[in-house]
Each structure stands twice: as structure tokens, then as C-alpha cells.
């Protein structure tokens, strides 16, 4: 993935996307949509929730890329 800046945008359709800021018409890297029930519950805070979700994703990807490919084990893995 290139080192361009990323932006979180709420589209007119209500979807929230993560995209490269220099490629407005490019396909989004991530697309989120929330149910009407959740939107009502969030009362307009859906972008903040999406930011938190994307922050967690980026943090996990960072952990994965720091680990050796064959040795990656998530911290919260449950063993049975």
C-alpha cells in the first residue's frame, strides 16, 4: 500500500469509507454501513465509532507487520 494520506468520509448514501485523500474517485479501502437501529442509537456519532473501529484495525495491522509472518499470534487469541 502506498504512503499517501488516508481520510474517513461519510458519503451521501450514509456509508462511511476509508480512502486515499489524493484519489477522490478511487475505490475505498474500507466501507462501513450501519443499520438504521444503530444509527438511531448513535444519534449522529457514527463517524466517531467508525474512527475507533478503523484505529483498532490499523493498530492490529501494525502489530501484524511488525511480527514475523510465520510467527504472528494475536494477543487476545483464545486457546481451547
What pLDDT digit, counting tens, does each position of 5-62 carry? 889 999 999 999 999 888 767 789 999 999 999 999 999 999 999 999 999 988 888 8
- Look at residue 69 and tell me whether its pLDDT is greater than 60: no
Q: Which of 49, 48, 11, 45 is nearest to 31 (CA)?
A: 11
Amino acid at each position: 500500500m502506498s504512503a499517501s494520506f488516508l481520510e474517513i468520509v461519510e458519503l451521501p448514501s450514509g456509508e462511511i469509507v476509508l480512502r486515499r485523500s489524493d484519489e477522490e474517485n478511487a475505490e475505498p479501502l474500507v466501507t462501513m454501513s450501519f443499520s438504521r437501529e444503530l444509527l438511531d442509537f448513535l444519534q449522529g456519532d457514527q463517524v466517531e465509532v467508525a474512527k475507533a473501529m478503523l484505529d483498532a484495525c490499523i493498530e492490529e495491522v501494525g502489530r501484524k507487520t511488525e511480527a514475523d509472518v510465520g510467527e504472528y499470534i494475536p494477543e487476545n487469541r483464545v486457546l481451547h
